[in-house]
Structures are given as C-alpha cells and as structure tokens.
Structure 1
C-alpha cells in the first residue's frame, strides 16, 4: 500500500472519537538508539526479578518481528487522571489502578479502531498492544511525536502531563510518520529529588529494582528491611515522580466511567486497610489491576507499611 495522508487523518479522527487524547504514527523499523540502552540496563540487573524483561529482546526492538510486514506503529494515549484522589492520611495505590483494569478497557477500544481501519481502508493486517507484549511503548510514543521521555523515564507531554496509558496498533499499512518533539525537562530535577528510594539514580536512568512499584507489585518475596520508612504509605505502585512533575499541572480529569474508583477506595482509612478481608478486597478491586498483587501481596505491603518505624 502507498503512503496516504488521508488515511492517517481518518485514523486520528476515529481515535479521538474513541476517547484517546493523542494519536501519532512512526515507521515500523529497528529501534537503533534504544538497543544498547536496553542491553546495558538488563546487564546491570536493573530489572530485578522482572525476568520477563529479558525475554524476546529482538522483538522489543523490532516490531516487524511481532507483525510480519509491519510498516507503521500507531501510538495512542488514554487519560486516567482522576477527578478525586484518595485521602491524604491513608495507604495509597497508584492512580492508574483506581478503576477497571486498563488492559481490558483500552484493548476493546483498540479493537474497535482496528475494525474501523479495516472497514474504511480495506485489507490491513496487524495487532493491537496494551502493555501486554514485548513492545517498548514509551519509545514508540516518543518517536510518534506524542511526548518525550522525561528524567523519570515516563513519557511526558506538554499539554497533558504523564497520567495516561500508552497503547499501539502495529500495521502493515504505510502511513506518513509524525515528527518527534524535543525534550522539555530542562534543568528540572523534581522527580530525582523526590524519589525516596533513589530509583532515579541519574537523569533518564531508572533502576527498576529500587522502584516502590517494583517492591509492591513485582517482588514476590518479602520486602527488604533496608527499605523501611521509604515508601511514603504507597501500598500498590507509586506516583511520586509524576505527582511532583511540573508538567502534570496540566493534567485534566478523565471522562472514562470505568476508571472511576470504588467509593470505599476513597473513604478507607489506614485502619480500614489494615483490617481488610479477602471478601472486601474482591469487592473494591473487582476487575482491577490491583488483583495482580493478589490479596496476600496487598496484605504484605500493608503490614510492611504499618511496621515501618
């Protein structure tokens, strides 16, 4: 198929109609700059127990190995910034996990977009991805002009901050690539200064094995005693480096009802969380990303926080 601008416009309009806040296109080829960085990061063990990061190394860097004949990567952003946050005096979970598990919500929208593309354009082959396959989401989104990779290694956008999910459509349809944007972190070090575990050990370099999100979600054994007093009451994930980022003053509340939190999530005090039962866990986090850590994992995290002193 030949490069056609109208196709790209059609796709972006439909993405907007489906609720995505941004949509950009990049050429599906080898991620040359990212390859040595990823290799070094893994070599240094910055992935901790996230062994899956070592799998499919080549596929992470070349989308044509995931989708034969791939020509374009369409990157999309979906807002999850809540209108109401948890109370200040309680154990906290990352904002992305307040409501329904994003994998299901966004995958349905991506499938709708893919069907639309096939109906409007014709025989197009490809796959949809939502943080569930070896795809370097942030690298592709940056290539597609949706933002830049900040010093906290998150994708940042001038108009929307960073509280959004990143998803992709990898297609054998050739589209004109968008232009990457420049870095606007400047001399700011807010995220580096605020990280209590020093996971952001230098600008643009994050030690995944030191991140609070890693300890509270990925780590399956006991949290090391050396980390006591550093978690700032985060029991699932962590938003510190995003909360302090100046660009997130432009974050606007999402309008996705499925991402709205269970009322108990907003009302619970520390003692409520400390007394949580399996049944209540299932009720508050039904179809939530928090289920990834399971009831026992959340209990472990709460116990660790409770006994920090």
Structure 2
C-alpha cells in the first residue's frame, strides 16, 4: 500500500500580533514534508533534498520509531506530523550515518527517546574537535551529550525481534561514510538505505572530512547488501522524493560498479585521472541515472579522483 499526502504544519495561534506576520514574510518558509504511507504502520517522511534526508517512521506497539531526523530545526515539525498520524510518542531514533542533514534534529526530541546507531557514528559524534568535519558532532557537546546513542552495534542487530515490529540493522562496510546503516522493516519488506542510494544520481563520497567514505569500497558494500539482505521490496532512499524498489537498488549498484570498472581500466591503461574522466561513458542501460562531469558533489570527477587516490 502506498499513499501520499501532505500534512500541514500546525496553524499559528490566532492571537499572534501583526509584527510576527511581517517577520514571517521576510523569512523563507520551511519546505513542507511529504508523507508516503508504505504499509499500515510504516511511513516515509520525505521531500527530496529540500528538508534534509528522508525519514522512515514506524508506528510500533511500544511507540514511534524514526530513522533519521532531517536538518536542524525540524524536530517540532516532525513531532507534529507524528501526532497527525498516531497518538503514540516517539520512543526511538535510529540514524543511518553521521551527517547533519540526517541527524540535525536529534537533540530536539524529548529526553525519553532512545537513540541507536552504528558504533562509528557514535564515535564521530562523541568527538570534541568537531570542526571542520561535517559530522554534526557540535550538537552533542556539553549537556547535549545525553543525546549520544545509548545503543550501538558493529555489524548486525535486531530490534523488537520476533514481533511484527522487528527492525534489522546491517553494516557492511565503508561507502558514503564509515557508518552507513541499512535499516530493514521486516513486516513491511522495506529498507532505509540512507545516502548509500540517495537517488538517481552518483553518490557523495565523504572521503576528505574524516568520515571514512570510500569510492573503492562503495560498490562492494552495495553488493554485500544485495547478496545478504533478504525479502525487501521497498527502498527508502536518502533524498529521493518518492520510494523506490529493490530492482532500482540493483540497477544503481550496476551503475556505480560500471563507473568503478571503467576507472580501473583507465588506471591499468596508464591514463591520468583527467583522461579517465574524459573517456568515461555512461552505458545506455543506466539512462535513468545522472552522471554529470565537472564540478561539485554527485558527479563523475570526485569519484574518479578518489579511486585514483586509493580512497
């Protein structure tokens, strides 16, 4: 079952004075969050890139479980959306990786929430020398250290095992970062993949900020997911505005591995990184994916350069 609807933000109190309306007119409106119902108990809170990473929301017997929390400032909005769907409280937050656009609102939830993450994620957040690493660890300093994950895992862990709410957490190695967690909702046959598959574009490999990303390992990690995670039909991406299917993940793995293989062939042929970028051609079978060249993240250039550097 998939239904999509937009839930409005809570209406401003009628007694607001006129200056508040003027202030709102001067500030950009917070982009709305789209809610996709994937099953009776599982929702995706999305909106692509505009609000931060996509959230998975499970209405479990014991309360609501969230996977990721978008950008800083979205905590109240997320709680409003949860209250529109269920009267159960948020009891657990799981994070797919360290970045601020997936964990920015972690510290905006009640102290009763239990936090779960891979051990590498907690290690990054527990640092005291945060800058310039974009791990969001600034949010976990001082009194906010109480929001650090209380439960961590290394390679696999099951939550609510043996119940309809069972959630399986997997870690298969480096890729986007060194803590990318795959979150499987067993009953719904759905998996949140974080930014290991953010959408129909090349990934951002965080290989220079101390977050452990690897262009060399990225494709191998996806292959381990495909070979070892059973019974998944629905994919919740890191940033794509609609859910995808398992076959899309398989195609994405092929798309990335082809770029890796072409780059390795260029290295073996004695080409430079610049020449490898120039000679790369995206196969027609991956037409649905974007592989731009030149500048910035999500392009061919940084991935090829990382592979040449052995990262």
Note whether the superposition's TM-score is higher than 0.5.
no
Higher strand share: 2
Question: Shorter chain as normaliser: what TM range?
Answer: 0.3 to 0.5
Name which structure has the greater RCO, CA cutoff 8 Å, separation 6+.
Answer: 1
TM-score using structure 2 length: 0.34
TM-score, length-scaled by structure 1: 0.34
The answer to which structure has the higher helix fraction is 1
